[in-house]
Structures are given as C-alpha cells and as structure tokens.
Homo-oligomer: A and B are copies of this chain.
Amino acid sequence: MKVGLIGLGRMGKGMGQRLLGGGHDLLVFNRSAGKAADLEKAGARSVSTLADVCSGRDIVITMVSDDAALNEVALGSGGIRQSLAQGGVHVAMGTHSAAAIQSLASAHAAAGQTLVAAPVLGRPDAAAAGQLVIVAGGPADAVKRCEPAFQVMGRKTAEAGPKPESAIAIKLANNFVLACAIEAMAEGFALVRKYGVQPQVFYEVITEGLFAAPAYKVYGKLMVDQAYDNPGFTAALGLKDVKLALAAGELAKVPLPSGSVVRDRLIGAIAHGDTDKDWSVLAREQGRACGLD
C-alpha cells in the first residue's frame, strides 16, 4: 500500500525498513535532514514537505517523540490535516498523551480523515526485526486498512477498541505497571540489603519464581550490578511516562496512588543528579531514602 512516514528516529527507521521489506510504497519525511539515507537506499523516496509525504497516501504514519512534535506535523501549517486526502488515515504510533490524541482525533474527523493511535511495545531492535507489539485504537475499518502495514512492522496487533485513546491507555498502563514494578523492586532491594542480604540472592529468588519475566530480570539485574550509567531508558524519560499515565488518569478521573509514589521517587532521583541514568536508578534513590549508599 501507499504509506507516508514521518519521524525517522531509531524506531521510525526500523519500521520504515520493515515497510519497504514488505513491498509497500514508502514516502518519508524528517524535519532534520540526512536521516533518510538508509531508507532511500532501501527504496524509499524522501520528500521535503509534509504536503508531499501525504500526497496520494492511503495512510500516513507518525513516529515522533512527543505531543508537541505530533501537533506540529499534524495540525501545523501544511501539516497532515491540511495535506492528507479526505478518507485518509493518520496512524500515530508514538507514545502520546490521551488528551492530545483525543483532540487530534476530533481535528482529523472534522477534516474527513481518521486518526488511528497505534503505540508500540518494543525497542528499536524489535522495530528493526518486525517484532513490535502494536496496540491499535480507532474505528474498525480504519484499523483494518492499516493491517498490511501492521503485519510487517509487528508480530502482533492488539485491538484496543474504536477510540484511539483506548490504545494510548493500554500503552500508558503497560509502562505504568512497569514503573511500579521497578519502584517496588527498588524498595525490596533496600529492605533486604538492610538485613544483610546480598542483592544477587534476592534477585535470583524473585526472578526464578513469581517474577520470572523481563520486567524484573532486566531491571533487577541493573540494580544488582548498579549499572545505571548506560541507560536503556532514563529517569527523565521514566518521569515523562509516569506523568503521561497520571495525566491520563486525571483526564479519566482515576487516582493512581502507586504512580504518585514512583513520580515522587523519580523526582528525588533527578534532584540527586540521576536525571540521565537508567531509571532502575530508583534503587539508588530508595537507598538514599533509608541511609544506604
């Protein structure tokens, strides 16, 4: 199918390669020049305006970093809303706020277009390998139209329901549960350390039983090794995600007290200079809170 792709960061590049590999006709656009070279080699055409990247497309995918970038490419002058044909589908695949997605869905609807929110679970390596889990929310026929693209980008599509923000809720809730798991482990490590336990022993006990899953194995290991300096995901990004979940909670009137705890500890970590450390640094922050470290 004819696909436009906006946002050629590490995730977007991998997704673009998968689309090309799947035989799709791909136009790409990035605000920063020079990011399209690899995709061009693989068969994409790079264009220099948002209008061009929407031209003649069945769907236009955005994979941008935040709400501001999304609103700029979608609602700004010459943006997707102005450039995409009536009946076209904008597939927003970044992690955005529920509020921004709701507003954008209305804006597209008013222009005779449809917004599908399709945030993904998985990191750049999963994107490159077509192993993302895609959580898709939007009108059923619009989601169906995206399937050929989803099939080559992901290993699975979860259907969230007819509202785009439903997909956002799932993605944010997933990250929220992860943040809470990291915080709980951080507290658990502090507790056992104060009782003279080697962290590795606690790690092995939990991760071979109830918690034999990546959330605990990956982040627990970082805590055992105190390996916070090469972040997979920083404390600053963690705070951003937790705040998105809390904001989604507020919008839908859901108190999230566990999330407030994580938010407070992340702010504490940042106050102590760990802004750019891996967010498993919550274990160090918890250590500070009880006089360890």
Contacts and interface: CB of A to CB of B under 8 A. Distances in A.
B255 A289 contact: yes
A210 B174 contact: yes
Interface residues of A, number: 80
Nearest to A216: B213
Interface stretch (A30-38, A144-152, A197-205): A197-205
Contact of A194 (B169, B180, B201, B259): B169
Nearest to A183: B258
Contact of A290 (B166, B176, B271): B271
A254 interface: yes
Interface of A: 98, 121, 133, 135, 156, 158-163, 165-166, 168-170, 172-174, 176-178, 180-181, 183-185, 187-192, 194-198, 201-202, 204-206, 208-216, 239, 245, 248-250, 252-261, 263-265, 267-268, 270-273, 288-291
Given A158-B201, A180-B184, 18 more contacts: A121-B210, A133-B208, A162-B196, A165-B195, A166-B196, A169-B195, A169-B197, A174-B209, A180-B258, A181-B184, A181-B211, A184-B258, A187-B258, A191-B249, A194-B253, A252-B290, A254-B271, A257-B260
